[in-house]
Amino acid sequence: MSFFELFLISCGVFGGVFLAMAVGVIFSNRQIKGSCGGLAGMLDENGKSLCDSCSTPVEECEDFMQQQCD
pLDDT tens across 52-68, in order? 556 655 666 666 666 66
Mean confidence (pLDDT) of the chain: 76
Query: Can you give the three-state secondary structure of 13-66, one letter per residue?
Result: HHHHHHHHHHHHHHHHCCCCCCCCCCHHHCECCCCCEHHHHCCCCHHHHHHHHH
Provide the pLDDT confidence category of residue 25 given band limits of 50, 70 and 90.
confident
Residue 33's pLDDT is 66
